[in-house]
Structure 1
Amino acid sequence: MRPNSAGSARRVSRMALLAVAGLTAATAVVTTGSANAATFTVPPANAKADYQLGGAYTPPADVRVVSRDRTAAPAAGRYNICYVNGFQTQAEEAAWWRANHPDLLLRDGDGNYVEDPDWPGELILDISTEDNRTDIAEIVNGWVTGCAEDGFDAVEIDNLDTFTRFTDHLQESDAVAYAELLTEHAHAEGLAIAQKNSAELAEQGRALGFDFAVAEECGRYDECGDYVDAYGAHVLVIEYRDQDFAKTCREYGDTLSVVRRDRNVVGPNSSGYVYDAC
């Protein structure tokens, strides 16, 4: 989960939104390069959703789409999205990366590992070379395969926007080339794959093979229209403030899946739990 750090005003394509407002689901067939074709299904549009990255729990009965961490089991009877942190390490996995793949971690000019200042313990994966991208994708795609084997329907790959926050080390072209390795593999495994955040890459992301979008705080930063232009009604929006949730529901509640969650996305038995949907 990564709330956007900044945003700019975007145009909302009402015609594009209305054109897809009646859609509920779509199926795509992808040729994987072998004699076989993998079939995947994108999430139903405007379906009630829940965002459970902080811990799995039984969703409300009318929830149809659930996103959970790759270490959790899918929710029975729902469309399940598997969360994978594909551009940074999880804090609890940083030691494993340092011990086993230190050359795949980004370092600064002094040789120190580059850490996300907003998420202590999360190290940045070094996707700046083709060899590194290939090696990192082999690891991350292994997790994607695990999502498919566990019964998830789709994956969302977090931190596509890492290159925008570490511009001294990474470029947009690095992220694009690496993302293409992940989208191809997800489709080969029969999974849809979501673009996570990075509204400025929405149109390009669609061309790369992303099938739908998971957008944190796009209402707050007036970016939802960018995702709609690229993905139609197949956008899952998560807002973390009441005023942003209310605004997004007014503008998109009849066409997109819009969820209000607490920033730590904890379960209902935890202090600070917040959930609503429109």
Structure 2
Amino acid sequence: MPSSRVQLLTGAALAAVVVAGTACSASAAPAAAVTPPPAGAGFDYQIGGAYTPASDVKVVSRDHTAQPAAGRYNICYVNAFQAQPGAEGEWGDLLLRDANGDVVMDEDWGEALLDLRTAAKRESVAAKVNTWVDNCAAKGFQAIEPDNYDSFTRSQGLLSDSDAQAYIRLLSAHAHQKNLAIGQKNTSELAGQRQANGLDFAVAEECGQQKNCGEFTPAFGDHVIVIEYTDAGLRTACDRWGSLSIVRRDHDVVPKGEAGYVRKTC
């Protein structure tokens, strides 16, 4: 979901994350047959509702319940690390709970976090999410955007970055089996582990606003899609990282024609 969730770690905290990521024994290298979104292409973020893309748009991201846009490179959005609001009942014992048995929530979006603490839990969550991935492939999408990779930062210390990486490797391996590219959503502190985690491109929200788009490019090159929600963020992204795919959308990413709709580019 649109947010300011890019977490910046420095000093000892960043070093700890890098060491933990490096220590991951499993690897999910990108599949040779997978094609990431074209670098620097015109982009539209349509996860709040589909509509006809503008003529400059070559890449579109839409929710997994939607159909892909004809003649474009299509990215399929799945909320892979948290439950959609009101969908908690679909997840049973796979919701993350604290010591009191209360479900741990992403308070900003009213979404319950999913429990990724054990291999068995991760495999069960991945089995459900991968049914959506299969549907994306069947519809003709070319890539997957699994949201909330950084849920561990909102987990009250119950989840770790190692849990997140072990889980996303399950998703990337499955996506590649379906000939789908898979993106890293935000979480710039883990960008250096992209190859071990099998990630092919990045989707970075508000990295212009936060002035940290450059934390993705060493790992992903120009295969970074930038989504800004303010004019100031758009200006910064365009001025400093103009070779990337950059768009400004309204915070609720409503379809064109609805009140509040905004789409601007460099």
Residue 7 of structure 1: how far off its partner (Å) = 5.2
Task: Flag the 1:274–1:111 CA change in 2: closer, same or farther, 3 A.
Answer: same
Residue 116 of structure 1: how far off its partner (Å) = 1.2
Report the Cα distance in structure 2 between the residues aligned to 1:6 and 1:227, rounded to whole angstroms: 11
Q: Which residue of structure 1 aligns with residue 143 of structure 2?
A: 154
Residue 265 of structure 1: how far off its partner (Å) = 0.3
Q: TM-score, normalised by structure 2?
A: 0.89
Residue 195 of structure 1: how far off its partner (Å) = 0.2
1:197 aligns with 2:191: no
Report the Cα distance in structure 2 between the residues aligned to 1:249 and 1:6, rounded to whole angstroms: 19
Q: Which residue of structure 1 aligns with residue 14 of structure 2?
A: none
Specify every segment of 5 or more residues in structure 1 that has no aligned partner in the other structure, as ranges. 11-27, 31-37
Task: Flag the 1:29–1:262 CA change in 2: closer, same or farther, 3 A.
Answer: closer
- Please tell me the residue identity of whatever aligns with 2:53: P
SS at match of 2:166: helix
Q: Which residue of structure 2 aligns with residue 223 of structure 1?
A: 212
Residue 6 of structure 1: how far off its partner (Å) = 5.9
Report the Cα distance in structure 1 between the residues aligned to 2:7 and 2:230, rounded to whole angstroms: 15
Residue 8 of structure 1: how far off its partner (Å) = 4.7
Q: Which residue of structure 1 aligns with residue 17 of structure 2?
A: none
1:59 aligns with 2:53: yes
1:195–1:212 contact (8 Å) kept in structure 2? yes
Report the Cα distance in structure 1 between the residues aligned to 2:202 and 2:114, rounded to whole angstroms: 22
Q: Which residue of structure 2 aligns with residue 77 of structure 1?
A: 71
Report the Cα distance in structure 1 between the residues aligned to 2:161 and 2:9, rounded to whole angstroms: 21
Q: Which residue of structure 1 aligns with residue 246 of structure 2?
A: 258
1:118 aligns with 2:112: no
1:113–1:123 contact (8 Å) kept in structure 2? yes
Report the Cα distance in structure 1 between the residues aligned to 2:122 and 2:40, rounded to whole angstroms: 35
1:50–1:67 contact (8 Å) kept in structure 2? yes
Task: Flag the 1:76–1:83 CA change in 2: closer, same or farther, 3 A.
Answer: same
Report the Cα distance in structure 2 between the residues aligned to 1:43 and 1:241, rounded to whole angstroms: 24
Q: Which residue of structure 2 aligns with residue 211 of structure 1?
A: 200
Residue 96 of structure 1: how far off its partner (Å) = 2.3
Report the Cα distance in structure 1 between the residues aligned to 2:187 and 2:6, rounded to whole angstroms: 10
2:6–2:186 contact (8 Å) kept in structure 1? no
Report the Cα distance in structure 2 between the residues aligned to 1:95 and 1:265, rounded to whole angstroms: 26
SS at match of 1:40: coil
Residue 43 of structure 1: how far off its partner (Å) = 0.6
1:127–1:133 contact (8 Å) kept in structure 2? yes
SS at match of 1:266: coil
Query: What is the identity percentage for the equivalent residue pairs of Structure 1 and Structure 2?
Result: 53
- For these two proteins, the number of residue pairs brought into alignment is 248
Q: TM-score, normalised by structure 1?
A: 0.85
1:104–1:132 contact (8 Å) kept in structure 2? yes
1:89–1:123 contact (8 Å) kept in structure 2? yes
Correspondence 1:165-176 to 2 at 5 A:
165-176=154-165
Report the Cα distance in structure 1 between the residues aligned to 2:63 and 2:80, rounded to whole angstroms: 12
Residue 205 of structure 1: how far off its partner (Å) = 2.4
- Please tell me the residue identity of whatever aligns with 2:172: T
Q: Which residue of structure 2 aligns with residue 96 of structure 1?
A: 90
Q: Deviation per CA, 1:34-93, whole angstroms, max 9, x where unpaired?
A: xxxx72211111100000011000010221000000000000000000001100011142
Report the Cα distance in structure 2 between the residues aligned to 1:3 and 1:172, rounded to whole angstroms: 19
2:76–2:145 contact (8 Å) kept in structure 1? yes
